[in-house]
Chain A
């Protein structure tokens, strides 16, 4: 669910980037926020595919990526061992990387 929102924003943001500027954030100091143009949309689609292969691995990636959880925390939430999370993350990352590779 959270993923969808993020991706929507990314889509909007991508649309926005073509025209608008970037807002300043801070009162006391101006700072640029660089945007490296990471292929969030591609990730979104790949995650969907991964979910069809292994739901839990996709979930691990989601939690790590979009919720920003540490692996130990993911283990807690999903109620699996840390070793399992690590393996899931490793495997999923390989798979997704292959998909995202240019």
Chain B
């Protein structure tokens, strides 16, 4: 017969049958005959099939143990014997069959519920399984589980279970009718948990936990029914068998793995318990909707997250903390990934108890661990991890917010590809850095964000294993965190030790990558950046040779990058920064040859060129524009150092304009305002040198106001403290110069206050020591201005003592120290202590001469020398006998000033000084 082989043929046959099946017999025969005239073969086949209609060889269902479903409707049961029990009444219909109340026939009085297993569900295997399960279930002895008393096959061949008789209501009805409060509902739920946990201990999974399988006795004891379909975990666990006893075919209480036909575990029961808890608390199933198709329900179970309890109008009243914690517990119980749920009902029960008792729930920590652990494994969690970072950005430790976002994100992006994740994670890590950079939030918040970030990175690192792309991300993240902790080139929280440690971490990760043989431009970049950080640190610690070498190495690595990379904005920003920092080193070092300054200029110029080129392509990029500002600032400082004040003023004004524009565009970016203050204070000496004293005071006071405002928002911030101290110093200096000493008094007090604070926080920091010494110097200046020369001398000696500590570290430190001598000498003169002045000034001259000799390219040291020579000359002039010495000193001063004049850089004050000296020398 063709229809055995050919689907098309079978379809044809079926259409013929369609028309004939429902016809009364004689009409059917007639129709067949008609068909036969058209297609004999077809008619034969159809006829053959139709013959099966009356007595089909295939029964309705498997024989022996099957009953037509309809037959259960009738009720011959009262008085029927089931084993040792006699039926008294029908109690109702359960999921798998009708239930009767029966009594034991015999001396031992016992009431049971007899449950007949509905027909087609017990197959040929069933008899043996029934026995097996009877043995297992008979062991279950728990107040929360309906006890199995007996099981067997009745005389008519139908199997039954004899169960403990429960006098009570089903779960739903109990809740509706008694309307318990939240605490009672939790208590009831815990009873169920305990019962299931008991079974879990015996390796029994229920697989079909739902309200319909739960009863509550009159005494308020919850009872689990239908452990008759429980399955042992040991032995064969082919889950398709669940279908055999499957009463849950509108699978509202199925776990995702059940729907997929995968093996069930205790975690499956946990999922069901989660659904139960949800429904018990708010009266609604989380995924079931009216009018919903089975397919839609299944999809919801597999993919959607449960709506928060708080969204359910039927939620029973309870304390807010309970609700929040319960939402977390439920979320963990309902996790689509079975391995992430509570492993057993016992753990779930524990956490519910924790909620009720006000203890922290495990769900919280587990979810955090989940977040971190899954990052590497499944990628989905990278989103959650990034949300964690975002939460840290917000500075909130609101776990509920974070956790609900995790859930939402994770479900939304379940299949995110690794590259996307990688990209996303980098974006977030970078964004996080930007956020900190903006100095937003108080120091405490920033510290805690940094602490969070470090913890997160540590776990990430532990989990990253050998995944190169993630390792590189981690390296970069540590770099950024390290910068925030203690890079003096940007906002930082003053944790220099922490910064060094973070940079060490970068080195560790890079070593791992090296060990793995990973070579990519990304790794090269990270390495170059690390080197530049180390170079900065070495520079700060005044290990100048080390710093120089590291800078050179870093720059070489940058230059070894492929061209495409070098054009990326990120790379441009980092590379030009390194060039600048190197230039700073070269410019500061002195070292003895003119080349250094020139070399520094070269680096700066290179940086500027690269930035400008990039700005052609990306004119609005804020980081590049900030880079331009850096170039302008350094240019201005160069001219300042060279003594060309006009140029300095012009360039620094440009710098101020650039950074002001950036600040106005990002009003919340506090760092821009900080830089504004920086430029303003740079302008002070420049204007001063141009003879614009009042303008210089204006600039200084502006700078001071800006930095004080910034500091007020964040009083612990080291960089800002530094800025205030510097601004105060400038303001005080200029005010003194303008003979407004009284106005300077409170400012200098502030300056000293801040400097002391900073030094207390970081006692060995040379820069901090210097800053304090400068504050003390200002006090000396005020004293001098007020005519208190003795006080002035005391102050300057105090400053000198501090400066002596680190003078040898760099020429600038030396200069500051030498200046103190100058001040002491001058004050001695004013005091009338000529002898003392001569000694002091002679020493000062000697020290400055040495400084100039070792730093010939630095004009300002010469200016200082000229000044002290002039003072010295004046000291000698006090006694006619020493006129020659005076003349000698004076000549040396004139020589310097002439040099300046021919170079076109003789400042106004210097000219005035020279004239004054000339006058003094005239007989």
Binding site for B on A (CB under 8 A): 1-2, 5-6, 9-10, 13, 23, 25-29, 31, 33-36, 38, 40, 43, 49, 52-54, 63-70, 73, 76-77, 79, 87, 90-91, 93-102
Contacts and interface: CB of A to CB of B under 8 A. Distances in A.
B293 interface: yes
Contacts of B243: 2, 63, 66-67, 69
Given A65-B61, A68-B119, A93-B52, A29 B240 contact: no
Contact of A68 (B61, B63, B83, B294): B61
A54 B10 contact: yes
Interface string B781-794: 00000000000000
A18 B151 CA distance: 28
B4 A49 contact: yes
B49 A98 contact: yes
A37 to B, nearest CB: 9
Contacts of A102: 57
A97 B52 contact: yes
Leading 8 A-B pairs by shortest Cβ distance: A26-B152, A68-B120, A28-B83, A97-B52, A28-B84, A97-B56, A68-B121, A100-B57
Interface stretch (B124-132, B183-191, B486-494, B680-688): B124-132
B69 interface: yes
Given A67-B246, A68-B121, A31 B14 contact: no
Given A54-B7, A76-B249, A2 B153 contact: no
Given A6-B124, A91-B14, A97 B57 contact: yes
Nearest to B85: A28
Contacts of A91: 14, 17
Contacts of A68: 61, 66, 118-123, 244
Nearest to B45: A98
Interface in B367-417: none
Contact of B63 (A1, A13, A36, A69): A36
Interface string B121-154: 1111101101100000000000000000011111
B835 interface: no
Interface of B: 3-7, 10-11, 14, 17-18, 21, 48-50, 52-53, 56-59, 61-66, 69, 83-85, 118-125, 127-128, 130-131, 150-155, 157, 238, 240-241, 243-244, 246, 249-250, 293-295
Given A64-B61, A69-B249, A93 B124 contact: no
Given A54-B10, A64-B120, A93-B56, A79 B293 contact: yes
A5 B238 contact: yes
A77 B83 contact: no
B158 to A, nearest CB: 10
Given A33-B64, A79-B294, A98-B49, A25 B131 contact: yes
B287 to A, nearest CB: 16
Contacts of B6: 53
A54 B154 CA distance: 39
Contact of A67 (B18, B56, B85, B244): B244
Contacts of B123: 6, 66, 68
28 contacts: A2-B238, A2-B244, A5-B125, A5-B238, A5-B240, A9-B124, A13-B124, A23-B131, A25-B131, A26-B83, A26-B150, A28-B83, A29-B83, A31-B154, A34-B64, A49-B4, A63-B243, A68-B118, A69-B120, A77-B294, A87-B18, A90-B21, A93-B52, A94-B17, A95-B10, A95-B49, A97-B52, A98-B48
A52 B8 CA distance: 11
Given A6-B125, A38-B62, A65-B62, A94 B53 contact: yes
A53 B7 contact: yes
Nearest to A6: B123
Contacts of B127: 23, 25, 33
B153 A77 contact: no
Contacts of A34: 64, 157
A81 B23 CA distance: 23
Nearest to B48: A98
Given A1-B240, A35-B64, A76-B294, A9 B249 contact: no
B130 A25 contact: yes
B154 to A, nearest CB: 7
Contacts of A2: 238, 240-241, 243-244
A96 B58 contact: yes
A96 B63 CA distance: 16
A52 B50 CA distance: 22
B47 to A, nearest CB: 11
B14 A27 contact: no
A52 B69 CA distance: 30
A13 B298 CA distance: 37
A89 to B, nearest CB: 10
A25 B49 contact: no
